[in-house]
Structure 1
Amino acid sequence: MRLIANAPVSFGVFEPGQPPLAAEELVAALSEAGYDGIDLGPLGYLDLGRLAGLRLAGGWVDVPEESFDDLDATLDAFGRAPSAPFRPVPTLGPPSMPARFARPGHGEPEMTDWAAFAAQVQAAADRCRERGYEPALHHHLGHAVETPDEIERLLELTDVKLCLDTGHLLLAGGDPVKALADWSERIGQVHVKDASSALMNGDLRSMMGAGVFTPLGEGDLDLPGVVAALRDYEGWIVVEQDTLPAHRRTADIVADQAANLRKLKELGL
């Protein structure tokens, strides 16, 4: 079985200031579109007792460097939301790197202390498992784990599963269809995201404002190939289209997320 969710990041909710949609409006839009679930978004944004029939798919939390307080707070939130048949997946985010954020997708400069970072990831993964959740490391443009080689290295140094993000992998030089096959045994969650390499200009924020993450089927992602590779996948699939709300009409963002789900359904997912 697989379930399909969307995420507040698709609506620019992580941006400073007033969210473009109130939580109840976002939940209603995703429920009406036919999604099975929703990602957590910023702690405190969602009313986890009022998800209009949606289940909680998971949520991002930075890899803890010292204290587990933020991780524990996220896991506490998970426990307050409906999630069956799959438990929410804590997606562990590697630290951002300003130089990479300024020039995303090139894997430069490289992280130097892999042993220390791997130990932090492993400790966070173990903490999640103590709490009854199976985490996944989310590679990300502008962060310490960005390229296919870095993902491979992290998988070798830890036993953590992978949150495979097709858009971030594509723009970092990876092949999402090949990755879904090569890392199938280690994938704990999939984020389906399209992207346009032609819009890789400037820093990551500028790229997002320019629409580098396109509606599904409008970028460079081999979407039919991704769908075919997910035929036997079981678990949460999260549709994401990272955006800056100041550059988009809210109505268009809402329409895009409904269209993204329709596109996946048309392809047989």
Structure 2
Amino acid sequence: MTPLSPQPSLSRIRIGSAPDSWGVWFPDDPAQVPWQRFLDEVAQSGYEWIELGPYGYLPTDPAVLTEETARRGLKVSAGTVFTGLHHGEAVWEKTWAHVADIAALTRAMGASHLVVIPSFWRDDKTGEVLEPATLTPAQWRDLTSLTERLGREVRERYGLRIVVHPHADTHVDTEENVVRLLDGTDPDLVSLCLDTGHYAYCGGDSVKLIETYGERIGYLHLKQVDPEVLADVRAKGTPFGPAVAQGVMCEPPSGVPELGPVLEAAQRLDVDLFAIVEQDMYPCEPDRPLPIAVRTRAFLRSCGA
């Protein structure tokens, strides 16, 4: 529920938003708002931090992007990459080519995190099953070892820390699979981007994960799930993309998990953390995101963030 009065300040939490909250999933799509409008509106909503979103949506020239963000009072917290490292060494070179450009821009913008999203086992637009939903033991070994390699290479070459993002319709989704990834990787090389919405979508408890694996939490994405829509999605086996179009990710504080307790648990870790709002809304009408963003920022302030 919405707190009736402001809560004690969550001094270690830095709040931001992302292109995702403006319905942006792709570098270029006529259904999405222009990048200039996103930057204008995210600043107007009261956010100071943003993510890069899909590479190529925002300008990829650091000088241009620095000018555009600075004049709006914005700073970049992280870039995002997509990987399929469970496929083994055969995909390493292609993966690194994708990662390197994004890591370079991320570092040039003064950020220190790279959000790593595992590849989807079914297409997020069409729902086509691309591969089995469960990894073999050999694939798990490839996933963990190459994720560690990615963490090491990104840190050594770009000074960034990778944070792996559990995501619906990927192989890192449920509590069991998230814990398996964490237990199978070096804490010095691999941290977690805990997305509260995706974790709830897949049956996980964010507060419990923070309390149990707090030293592995390196970054947060804040979003909520509509329980009624989620029940329908689960009953029908709806793929993630159509589920988003159905409204499975909803405006806080109307869904789950409650974000106040999540932020309080994160604050108790006594480390500086980014908490980036991501309300998946692809596709959405161009005038829809701004009012939601303004209300969400006000709600988070009422939580002390």
CA distance in 1, matches of 2:107, 2:240: 33
Letter in 2 for 1:144: H
CA distance in 2, matches of 1:103, 1:226: 34
CA contact (8 A) 2:107 2:160 kept: no
Report the alpha carbon displacement of residue 59 of structure 1 after superposing the two structures with TM. 2.1
In structure 2, the gaps of 5 or more residues are: 1-11, 60-64, 86-90
Deviations 1:48-98 (A, max 9, x none): 2211221111122023532211111011111332x4xxx331011112102
Partner of 2:229: 199
Report the alpha carbon displacement of residue 216 of structure 1 after superposing the two structures with TM. 1.1
Partner of 1:181: 211
From 128, 139, 148, give the equivalent of 2:166: 139
Partner of 1:32: 44
CA contact (8 A) 1:196 1:213 kept: yes
Partner of 2:258: 222
Letter in 1 for 2:55: L
From 10, 16, 19, give the equivalent of 1:8: 19
What are the within-5 Å matches in structure 2 for residues 1-269 of structure 1?
Answer: 1-15=12-26, 17-18=29-30, 20-47=32-59, 48-49=65-66, 50-51=68-69, 52-63=72-83, 65-67=91-93, 68-81=96-109, 83=110, 87-98=111-122, 102=127, 109-112=133-136, 113-130=139-156, 131-159=158-186, 160-200=190-230, 201=233, 202-232=238-268, 233-245=271-283, 248-269=284-305
Deviations 1:127-186 (A, max 9, x none): 111120111111100011111111111111112100000000011111111112112100
CA distance in 2, matches of 1:257, 1:103: 32
Tell me which structure has the larger Cα radius of gyration: 2
CA distance in 2, matches of 1:220, 1:3: 21
Relative to the length of structure 1, the TM-score reads 0.90
Q: Which moved more, 1:108-117 or 1:22-31?
A: 108-117
Letter in 1 for 2:175: P
Relative to the length of structure 2, the TM-score reads 0.80
CA contact (8 A) 1:227 1:264 kept: no
In structure 1, the gaps of 5 or more residues are: none
CA contact (8 A) 1:103 1:142 kept: no
Structure 1 segments of 4 or more deviating over 3 A?
99-104
CA contact (8 A) 1:118 1:158 kept: yes
Report the alpha carbon displacement of residue 46 of structure 1 after superposing the two structures with TM. 1.5
Letter in 2 for 1:227: L
Letter in 1 for 2:192: L
Over the aligned positions, Cα root-mean-square deviation in angstroms equals 2.1
